Amino acid sequence: MLPNLYGMSRVELAEILSARGAPRFHADQIVRWLYARRRLDPASWTDLPKALRGELSHAARVDAPSIGRSLRASDGTVKHEIRLPGGGSVESVFMVQRDRVTLCVSSQVGCALDCTFCLTARMGLVRHLSPGEIVGQVAAIQETGEIGDRAFNVVFMGMGEPLHNYDGAIGAFRLLVDPDGFGLSRRRVTISTSGLAPAIERLAGETLRPRLAVSLNATTDEVRDRIMPINRRYPLARLLEACRLFARTTGERHTFEYVLLDGVNDTDADVARLTKLLRAHPAKLNLIPFNEVPGLLPYRSPARARVLAIRDRLLAEGLPVSIRWSRGAEARAACGQLALLEEVS
């Protein structure tokens, strides 16, 4: 099969060009055509020599993801099925809250980490996505016109564990923030992880890095082992050590996310332990009421009054905390609800 130019880094593009005897600087032009201008036909890349355009048209392909089905919720959230050039599909979400536009993208088809409150886990891991298959989700949503001229954020919080697909996720991030690519500020891109401690430490060493969100979701190893099996490999103490290293190395505050499961991790004792765990940690906390999927996931969300009471108690203890209320749940587009249902038993 011909190599796919879509998703290649500047270095990879330059190598393709060099092999054909073309100057490496044309890689910068190709990046602009692919991502800033979203023109996928090499014949239309008019600032490249005509002969080179013809060679690229025959020696390579430019295959980007495309939108299949879409489902809109009453709050304006849209869940898109994204068809992938490498085979299969993932789900991506377009969200608007007040004037803030956020695109939630997937990094894997399925997921290997088996968190018991996440529908994606029911699929298992099918495969990693390439950088092009990740950024192509953003481009496909841009093509719908839903974003318009508005600034937008990108969160790697869709299907899959981004740091399990480290090279794919970071390769996509670099294209998103490339001034000749999508041109996003790095502070508009967030990668979420369920707690791969060594990958968090690796991310801290990147010269250019996204924002980091860490899914905590429990205050004891016993509970976290049960609901997030990755904890058996990287327990709470190890995870928090990696987060402290990230904060020291980068000088940046990250986010902890805490999905509230009724009767599982929302007790008064949990709130007290959460305060103790995070009081001296340079991070903010997002509380996420569980998004229910009756018949498929065995948990319930605490009552709204309980969620507010937990937030207020944590605020009283001096923790920076907010609540991320569900958006798009009726379209199964909310946190933890993304999955290709025909793949879920």
The 10s digit of each residue's pLDDT in 153-210 is: 999 999 999 999 999 999 999 999 999 999 999 999 999 999 999 999 999 999 999 9
**Active-site residue identified among 81, 91, 133, 257:** 91
Please give the CATH number for the structural domain made up of 10-59. 1.10.150.530
| Identical fold between 10-59 and 66-343 | no
The 10s digit of each residue's pLDDT in 7-59 is: 999 999 999 999 889 999 999 999 999 999 999 999 999 999 999 999 999 99
- The fraction of the chain above a pLDDT of 90, given in percent, is 82
- Give me the long-range contacts of 12-18 (CB less than 8 A, separation at least 24): 16/60, 17/52
How far, in Å, CA of 307 to CA of 314, rounded?
A: 11
Say how many CA atoms lie within 13 Å of 254 toward its Cβ.
29
In the prediction, which pLDDT does 341 show? 52
Does the annotation count 91 as an active-site position? yes
How many C-beta atoms surround the C-beta of residue 316 within 10 A? 9
Does the annotation count 111 as an active-site position? no
> What is the pTM assigned to this prediction?
0.94
How do beta strands 108-110 and 125-128 pair? antiparallel
Annotated domain spans of the chain? 10-59, 66-343
Is the per-residue pLDDT at 257 higher than 80?
yes
Please give the CATH number for the structural domain made up of 66-343. 3.20.20.70
User: What confidence tier does 328 reach under pLDDT thresholds 50, 70, 90?
Assistant: low
Dihedral angle, C-alpha 197, 114, 283, 235, nearest 10 °: -50
**Active-site residue identified among 292, 335, 342, 343:** 335
The 10s digit of each residue's pLDDT in 45-86 is: 999 999 999 999 999 999 999 999 998 888 888 999 999 998
- Residue ranges of the alpha helices (H) in 98-165? 131-143
In the prediction, which pLDDT does 278 show? 94
Q: Do residues 152 and 123 touch, judged by C-beta distance below 8 A?
A: no
Torsions phi, psi of 72, nearest 5?
-105, 135
In the prediction, which pLDDT does 98 show? 80
Dihedral angle, C-alpha 272, 275, 276, 281, nearest 10 °: 170
Is the per-residue pLDDT at 267 higher than 90?
yes
In the prediction, which pLDDT does 122 show? 87
The 10s digit of each residue's pLDDT in 215-230 is: 999 999 999 999 999 9
Across the range 239-266, mean pLDDT stands at 96
